[in-house]
């Protein structure tokens, strides 16, 4: 984990209430896809944890949704505003477990951390498929970006306005066989994925956090192997250790 000051390069709306922000700064502490940053906002006591969508040597891309006053404040930031970030937080996805044909399953704002994961899986020679779930057409984002990577993308919408009507699990029969899976999204979606997947896999959990690095114990959860902190021991947990 590193703390630093990062510059906003761009901050644009990409779907209903959803924004994509690119930040410039030190990315050396990011070691795995699925990690997150914790952002300090002027006038707000707690930092905002946001998953890392993508990164390179000098930039971090995050995608976030307006869900309260803090993220609404973020949506109004302009280029060259400065932000205090804690970077490289959490235990990310393990790409070594993927096998040849991993499946990535994302719902809503659980989609972003799967993008860099997808790129890393492709770099190691795997052939991932992707399921993206949304409520309706005007909430869809990132599908085109995944397709540009050359992977198969299946979109589901609850109202049937685009792709398969229903939830991400309704697209599982379209995928066929997969060697392993990675998933991130709201808790009801994760439970459904747990119950309807046929292999081992990894789950990235969304949780309210105090400190973001394991000191306050505010995001602890029970697992089959004892209590774990979502911010430090997670947010990624393997299927076999999860207790619902």
Of 65, 89, 113, the one marking the end of a domain is: 89
Query: What would the two tokens of residue 210 be?
Result: 């105090």
CB 151 within 8 A of CB 118: yes
Q: 105 and 200 share a domain?
A: yes
Q: Which pLDDT does position 244 carry in this prediction?
A: 85
Q: 132 and 84 share a domain?
A: no
Q: Measured between alpha carbons, how far is residue 177 from residues 6, 91, 174, 180 in Å?
A: 42, 27, 9, 9
Q: Which pLDDT does position 225 carry in this prediction?
A: 64
Of 89, 107, 133, the one marking the end of a domain is: 89
Give the long-range contacts of residues 212-220, CB within 8 A, separation 24 or more: 212/36, 212/38, 212/47, 212/49, 212/86, 212/89, 213/1, 213/38, 213/86, 213/89
Q: Which pLDDT does position 50 carry in this prediction?
A: 95
Residues in Cβ contact with 191 at an 8 Å cutoff, skipping those fewer than 6 apart: 244
Of 89, 118, 148, the one marking the end of a domain is: 89
CA nearest to 143, candidates 177, 112, 175: 112
Q: Which pLDDT does position 220 carry in this prediction?
A: 64
Q: 105 and 133 share a domain?
A: yes
Q: What is the spatial distance between Cα 238 and Cα 92, in angstroms, rounded to a whole number?
A: 11
Query: Which DSSP category does 158 fall into?
Result: T
Q: Which pLDDT does position 234 carry in this prediction?
A: 58
Backbone region of residue 108 per phi and psi (left: phi > 0; alpha: psi in -120 to 50; beta: other values) = left
Q: 34 and 115 share a domain?
A: no
Q: 103 and 74 share a domain?
A: no
Which residues of the chain fall below pLDDT 50?
Answer: none
Domain around 187: 95-241
Q: Which pLDDT does position 236 carry in this prediction?
A: 93
CB 30 within 8 A of CB 52: yes
Q: Which pLDDT does position 206 carry in this prediction?
A: 72
Residues in Cβ contact with 93 at an 8 Å cutoff, skipping those fewer than 6 apart: 32, 33, 34, 113, 117, 182, 202, 204, 236
pTM over 0.85: yes
Q: 225 and 138 share a domain?
A: yes
Q: Which pLDDT does position 193 carry in this prediction?
A: 98
Peptide bond into 60 cis (omega under 30): no
Domain count, the chain: 2
Q: 163 and 194 share a domain?
A: yes
Q: Which pLDDT does position 94 carry in this prediction?
A: 97
Q: 42 and 128 share a domain?
A: no
Q: 45 and 148 share a domain?
A: no
Q: 85 and 190 share a domain?
A: no
Q: 169 and 235 share a domain?
A: yes
Q: What is the spatial distance between Cα 147 and Cα 130, in angstroms, rounded to a whole number?
A: 9
**Residue 38 sits in a domain of what CATH number?**
2.40.30.10
Q: Is 24 exposed, middle or buried (0-12, 13-18, 19+ CB in 10 A)?
A: middle
Query: What is residue 95's three-state secondary structure?
Result: helix
Q: Which pLDDT does position 213 carry in this prediction?
A: 54
């Amino acid at each position: 984990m590193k703390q630093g000051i990062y510059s906003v390069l761009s901050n644009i709306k990409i779907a209903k209430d959803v924004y994509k922000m690119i930040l410039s700064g030190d990315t050396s502490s990011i070691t795995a896809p699925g990690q997150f940053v914790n952002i300090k906002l002027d006038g707000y006591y707690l930092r905002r944890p946001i998953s890392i969508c993508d990164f390179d040597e000098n930039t971090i891309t995050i995608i976030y949704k307006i869900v309260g006053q803090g993220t609404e404040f973020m949506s109004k930031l302009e280029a060259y505003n400065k932000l205090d970030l804690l970077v490289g937080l959490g235990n990310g996805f393990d790409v070594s477990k993927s096998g040849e044909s991993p499946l990535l399953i994302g719902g809503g704002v659980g989609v972003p951390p799967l993008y860099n994961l997808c790129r890393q899986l492709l770099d190691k020679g795997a052939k991932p498929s992707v399921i993206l779930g949304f409520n309706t057409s005007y909430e869809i984002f990132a599908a085109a970006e995944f397709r540009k990577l050359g992977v198969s993308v299946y979109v589901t919408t609850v109202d049937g306005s685009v792709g398969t009507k229903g939830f991400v699990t309704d697209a599982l029969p379209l995928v066929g066989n997969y060697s392993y899976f990675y998933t991130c999204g709201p808790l009801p979606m994760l439970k459904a994925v747990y119950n309807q997947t046929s292999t081992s896999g990894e789950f990235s959990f969304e949780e309210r956090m105090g400190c973001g690095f394991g000191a306050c114990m505010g995001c602890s959860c029970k697992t089959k192997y004892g209590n774990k902190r979502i911010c430090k021991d997670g947010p990624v947990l393997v299927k076999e250790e999860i207790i619902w």
